Structure 1
Amino acid sequence: MKKLMNMSFIVIAFSLIVSGCSNSASNKAAGDDDKVTLSLFSSMNNEGEKKAFESVIAKFEEANPEIDVEVNSPGDYEDMLRVKMAANDMPDLFDTHGWSQLRYGEYVADLKDMDWVQNLDPALNPIIKDEDGKVYAFPLNQAKDGISYNVEVLKEYGIEPPSTLDEFMKALETVKEKSNGEVVPLWIPGSDKSAIAQIFDELATPLLITDAENSYGDQLVNGTFDWKNYTLLATKMKEIQDKGLLNEDVLTAQLQQATELIAQNKIAFTFVAGSLGPDATELNPDVKIGTMPVPAIHEGDKPSWIGGERHTLAVWKDTEHPDEARRLLDFFAQPENVKTIAEGTSAPDALTNVEAENYFSVFYKEFEDTAVQPYFDRVYLPSGMWDVMGTSGQELLSGSLTPEQLSKKMGEEYERLRNQ
Structure 2
Amino acid sequence: MKALLKISFTLLICSIVLIGCSDGSNKESGKVTLSLFSTVTNESDQQAIEHAAAKFEEANPDIQIDYNFPGGDYEDMLRVKMAANDMPDLFDTHGWAQQRYGEYVMDLSDMDWVADLDPALESIFTDDQGKVYAYPLNQAKDGLTYNKHVLDKYGIKPPETFDQFMDALEKIKEKSNGEVTPLWFAGSEKSQLGQFLDEFATPLLITHPEHNFSKELETGSFDWSKYTFLPKKLKEMQNKELLNEDVLTAQIHELPQLLAQDKIGFVMATTPIQSVKELNPDAELGVIPVPAIHEGGEQSWIGGERHTMAIWKDTEHPEAARKFIEFLAQPDLVKAIAEGTSLPAGLTNATADVYYSDDYQKYADVQVEPYFDRIYLPSGMWDVLGNTAQELLSGALTPEQVSESTGSEFERLRDQGK
TM norm structure 2: 0.91
Residue in structure 2 matched with residue 385 of structure 1 by the alignment: 381
After superposition, residues 21-420 of structure 1 pair within 5 angstroms as 32-75=28-71, 76-271=73-268, 273-275=270-272, 277-420=273-416
Q: Secondary structure at the match of 2:299?
A: coil
Partners of 2:269 and 2:93 lie apart in 1 by: 20
Quote how far apart the aligned CAs of 1:186 are.
Answer: 0.8
Residue in structure 2 matched with residue 13 of structure 1 by the alignment: none
Q: Secondary structure at the match of 1:37?
A: strand
Distance 1:31 1:88, change over 3 A: closer
Quote how far apart the aligned CAs of 1:274 are.
Answer: 4.0
Partners of 1:62 and 1:266 lie apart in 2 by: 41
Output the amino acid matched with 2:186: P
Q: Secondary structure at the match of 1:370?
A: coil
Quote how far apart the aligned CAs of 1:32 are.
Answer: 4.9
Q: Could you give the per-residue CA deviations for residues 221-277 of structure 1, whole angstroms, max 9, x where no partner exists?
A: 1111110110111111111112221111111111111111111111011115342x2
Quote how far apart the aligned CAs of 1:33 are.
Answer: 3.5
Quote how far apart the aligned CAs of 1:30 are.
Answer: 12
Partners of 1:398 and 1:321 lie apart in 2 by: 46
Q: Secondary structure at the match of 2:404?
A: helix
Distance 1:249 1:321, change over 3 A: same
* Runs of 4+ deviating beyond 6 Å: none
Partners of 1:163 and 1:382 lie apart in 2 by: 30
Output the amino acid matched with 1:183: V
Residue in structure 1 matched with residue 22 of structure 2 by the alignment: none
Q: Is the 8 A contact 1:274 1:347 kept in 2?
A: no
Partners of 1:211 and 1:44 lie apart in 2 by: 32
Quote how far apart the aligned CAs of 1:218 are.
Answer: 1.5
Q: Is the 8 A contact 2:224 2:407 kept in 1?
A: yes
Quote how far apart the aligned CAs of 1:78 are.
Answer: 0.5
Output the amino acid matched with 1:351: L
Quote how far apart the aligned CAs of 1:61 are.
Answer: 0.6
Q: Secondary structure at the match of 2:182?
A: strand
Distance 1:263 1:194, change over 3 A: same
Q: Which structure would you say has the larger Rg?
A: 1
Structure 2's unaligned 5+ residue stretches are 1-24
Partners of 2:368 and 2:229 lie apart in 1 by: 23
Q: Is the 8 A contact 2:231 2:402 kept in 1?
A: yes
Q: Is the 8 A contact 1:150 1:290 kept in 2?
A: yes
Q: Is the 8 A contact 2:26 2:33 kept in 1?
A: no
Partners of 1:239 and 1:363 lie apart in 2 by: 29
Partners of 1:286 and 1:30 lie apart in 2 by: 46
Q: Is the 8 A contact 2:195 2:269 kept in 1?
A: no
Q: Is the 8 A contact 1:258 1:272 kept in 2?
A: no
Q: Is the 8 A contact 2:143 2:269 kept in 1?
A: no
- Higher mean alpha-carbon deviation, 264-273 vs 164-173, is at 264-273
Distance 1:252 1:133, change over 3 A: same
Q: Secondary structure at the match of 2:29?
A: helix
Quote how far apart the aligned CAs of 1:342 are.
Answer: 0.8
Q: Secondary structure at the match of 2:228?
A: helix
Give percent identity, aligned residues only: 62
Output the amino acid matched with 1:130: D
Q: Secondary structure at the match of 1:256?
A: helix
Q: Could you give the per-residue CA deviations for residues 160-201 of structure 1, whole angstroms, max 9, x where no partner exists?
A: 110110110111111111111111111111111111011111
CA RMSD of aligned residues (A): 1.4
